[in-house]
C-alpha cells in the first residue's frame, strides 16, 4: 500500500461534493491501493453541515480513508494537497447563463489560487468544477504562479459523458461502446460537441458514429443543442443544478488524469491552449486529450480524413 495522498474538495458541504466524496474515499478515482487524507473546505456558516458530512464519511468504514479534516481555512485546506477539486461556488438558477456567476465566484478562485500557491504541492492537479469553470481555472492559475499553468484544468467531462450517452441512446447501444466524442470550447452554451471522429463498437467491429447515425440534421443541430442546453434542462426539472452526474464526471476527469487514458481513447478536458487548432494561446479551452504518466497531451485530430 502506498503512502496516503492529501486531496482537497471545496464546497464540501454542497450537493456535488456529497456525491463526489464517496467515490474518493472508496478508491474509485485514485485507485484501490491509494490511501487518502481528505481535506474538506467550506465557508464558516456551513461548518455544522460539514460535521454531518464528516460523520457520514466516518460511517462509510472505508479502509483507504485515513484522515478527514473539515475546515473553513484555505491555509489548512490546501496544505500539501496532491489533487484539488474546486467545486465550492454559487450554482446558477433557472434563466441564468453560467457567465452570470462570474461576479459572485471570481473572488473565490482568486483566494483559492493564492492558497494553492502557498500551501499545495507544486505538482498538484487542480480540477475546477465551479462555474464558469474555464474562466475560474484561468483566474486560479493566475494567482498561483509557482504551480505550472498546465496543472489547472476545467471540467467538460460532464458534457462528454452527456454526449456519449445521447449517441449511445440514439444507436441503441451500451454507452461504453461509444468513444472519442469531443467537446470543444467552454463549459457553456457555446461549447461544440463533435461526433465527427467518434466511433461505436457494433458486433465486435469499430464503426464511424456519423456513418451509423446517418442523419446530419440530428448530429449537427438537434444533438448539439441537446448537449449545449442539458445543464439548463436539468435545472428546469430539478430546480437545482446537476450534482450526481457532475460528481461522476469530476471523478472520471481526475481518474483519467491520474491513472491515464486507455489506448486509442480520447477524453475532453478544459486545458491551457497551446495554440492548437488556431485557438488563442493561454486561454482555458476544452480539447481532446490523451494522458500518460500523469501528463495530458492535446490530440491533433486530422480533419481531412
Ligand atoms: P451547492 O450550492 O450545493 O454547493 C456549493 C458549496 O460551496 C456550498 O456548500 C457553499 O457553502 C460552498 N462555498 C461557497 N463559497 C465557498 C468558498 N469560498 N470556499 C469553499 N466553499 C464555498 O452547489 P453545487 O451544486 O455543489 O455546485 C457547485 C458549483 O459547480 C456551481 O458553480 C455549479 O454551477 C458548478 N457545476 C459545474 C459543472 C461542470 O460541469 N463544470 C457541473 C455542475 C455544477
Ligand atoms: C451543468 O452543466 O449541469 C452545470 O454546469 C450546471 C449548470 O449551471 O448548468
Query: Cell numbers 485507485 correspond to what residue?
Result: 31
Is residue 255 marked as binding?
no
C-alpha cell at 292: 500518460
Question: What is the predicted pLDDT for the residue at 272?
Answer: 98
User: Averaged in consecutive runs of 10 residues, what is the pLDDT profile of the chain (305 residues)?
Assistant: 94 98 98 98 98 98 98 98 97 89 91 98 98 97 98 98 98 97 96 98 96 97 98 96 98 98 97 97 97 98 76
Mutate which of 230, 242, 245, 246 for ligand 2 pocket (most atoms within 8 A of beta carbon): 242
Ligand nearest to the CA of 248: 1
Q: Whose CA is nearest to atom 7 of ligand 2?
A: 231
Is residue 11 marked as binding?
no
Ligand nearest to the CA of 101: 1
Q: Tell which CATH architecture fits domain 5-154.
A: 3-Layer(aba) Sandwich (3.40)
- Protein residues whose CB sits closer than 6 Å to any atom of ligand 1: 10-11, 13-16, 41-43, 46, 87-92, 108, 129-131, 133, 155, 158, 187, 241-243, 246
Question: What is the predicted pLDDT for the residue at 65?
Answer: 98
Q: What is the ipTM for the molecules in this complex?
A: 0.99
* CA atoms of 244 and 2, how far apart (whole Å): 29
Helices 230-238 and 157-171: crossing angle in degrees, nearest 10, is 90
Ranges of CATH 3.90.110.10 domains, the chain: 156-298
Q: Whose CA is nearest to atom 2 of ligand 2?
A: 231
Burial 107-138 (b: 16+ CB within 10 A, else e): ebbeebbbbbbebbbeebbbbbbbbbbbbbbb
* Minimum-distance ligand 2 atom for the alpha carbon of 246: 3
**CATH topology for 156-298?**
L-2-Hydroxyisocaproate Dehydrogenase; Chain A, domain 2 (3.90.110)
Which residues are the active-site residues? 187
How confident is the model over 20-45, as pLDDT tens digits?
999 999 999 999 999 999 999 999 99
Ranges of CATH 3.40.50.720 domains, the chain: 5-154
The values of phi and psi at residue 224, to 5°, are -60, -45
- Point out which residues pair with 297 in neighbouring strands: 290
How confident is the model over 142-166, as pLDDT tens digits?
999 999 999 999 999 999 999 999 9
Is residue 42 marked as binding?
yes
Amino acid at each position: 500500500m502506498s503512502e496516503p495522498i492529501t486531496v482537497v474538495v471545496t464546497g464540501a458541504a454542497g450537493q456535488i461534493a456529497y456525491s463526489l466524496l464517496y467515490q474518493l474515499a472508496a478508491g474509485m478515482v485514485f485507485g484501490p491501493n491509494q490511501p487518502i487524507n481528505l481535506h474538506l473546505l467550506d465557508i464558516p456558516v456551513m461548518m455544522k453541515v460539514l460535521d454531518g458530512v464528516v460523520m457520514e464519511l466516518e460511517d462509510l468504514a472505508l479502509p483507504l480513508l485515513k484522515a478527514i479534516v473539515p475546515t473553513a481555512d484555505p491555509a489548512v485546506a490546501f496544505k500539501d494537497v496532491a489533487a484539488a477539486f474546486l467545486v465550492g461556488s454559487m450554482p446558477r438558477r433557472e434563466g441564468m447563463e453560467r457567465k452570470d456567476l462570474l461576479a459572485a465566484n471570481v473572488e473565490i478562485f482568486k483566494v483559492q489560487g493564492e492558497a494553492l500557491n502557498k500551501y499545495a504541492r507544486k505538482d498538484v492537479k487542480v480540477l475546477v468544477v465551479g462555474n464558469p469553470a474555464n474562466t475560474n481555472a484561468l483566474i486560479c492559475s493566475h494567482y498561483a504562479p509557482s504551480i505550472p499553468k498546465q496543472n489547472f484544468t476545467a471540467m467538460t467531462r460532464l458534457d462528454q459523458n452527456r454526449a456519449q450517452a445521447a449517441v449511445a441512446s440514439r444507436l441503441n447501444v451500451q454507452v461504453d461502446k461509444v468513444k472519442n466524442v469531443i467537446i470543444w470550447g467552454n463549459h457553456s452554451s457555446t461549447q461544440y460537441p463533435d461526433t465527427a471522429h467518434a466511433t461505436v463498437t457494433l458486433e465486435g467491429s469499430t464503426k464511424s458514429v456519423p456513418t451509423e447515425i446517418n442523419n446530419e440534421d440530428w448530429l449537427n443541430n438537434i444533438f448539439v443543442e441537446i448537449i449545449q442546453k442539458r445543464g439548463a434542462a436539468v435545472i428546469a426539472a430539478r430546480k437545482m443544478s446537476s450534482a450526481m452526474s457532475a460528481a461522476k464526471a469530476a471523478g472520471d476527469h481526475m481518474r483519467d488524469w491520474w491513472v491515464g487514458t486507455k489506448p486509442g481513447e480520447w477524453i475532453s478536458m478544459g486545458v491551457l491552449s497551446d495554440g492548437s487548432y488556431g485557438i488563442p494561446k493561454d486561454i482555458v479551452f476544452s480539447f481532446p486529450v490523451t494522458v500518460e504518466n500523469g501528463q495530458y497531451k492535446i490530440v491533433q485530430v486530422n480533419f481531412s480524413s
